[in-house]
Copies of this chain bind each other. A is one copy, B any other.
Amino acid sequence: MEQSSKSAFAKQVSKSRLEFLFDGVFAIAMTLMVLELKVPELQNRLSAHELGAALLHHGRTFFSYILSFFALSMFWMVHNRIYINLKKISNTCLAIHIWLLAVAAFFPFCAHLLGKFPGNRLTLQIYFGTVFAYFFGIFLLIIAAEKQKLFDPAVEAKDIRKLRNRFLRSCVIILTAFVFYSFFPFGK
């Protein structure tokens, strides 16, 4: 009796709405980065040469935009691959999603930082730290979903284990690169 009244009053978040919010934040984060691409000022408005030079001068901003766009796309795809196999959303799972969204919304800032100070060591630490924060969140999501049996029952346990190990590996690689880069005393 109690059981059925519980199931009538839905307490969890609907899976499709979390999807909308997630995809919305990613769509905006991806498009926001373009705002940083500033149209330059020219002395001779008709000179293609001057415009080209001005744009090339901002070349690294463009590069950072493209790199970060593809990084965000990869983030989105990675999440997609896990989410499609989930059957329901628990509170832990929701909290991890908020974390993932906060990281994704923060990413355009990292992209701007990289565009402006590409050679600065702290910039790269922040950039890779953010990438690590995302991948680690995904890793936690897999663990939580496994523990709380949120995966579709039709999905075999070994597929989940393989997925989890792949993400653990990614996290370790990013972290190693990060630590190595941070403490190895090259340059300044």
Task: Show the binding face of A for B, using Cβ within 8 Å.
Answer: 5, 8-14, 17, 19-21, 23-35, 37, 39, 42, 45-48, 51-52, 55, 66, 69-70, 73, 76-77, 80-81, 84-85, 94, 98, 101-102, 105-106, 108-109, 112-113, 116-117, 119-123, 125, 152, 154-156, 159-160, 187-188
Contact = CB atoms under 8 A, between A and B. Distances in A.
Nearest to A156: B5
A26 to B, nearest CB: 6
A101 B5 contact: no
Contact of A27 (B25, B52, B55, B94): B25
B27 A102 contact: no
A8 B77 contact: no
A103 to B, nearest CB: 10
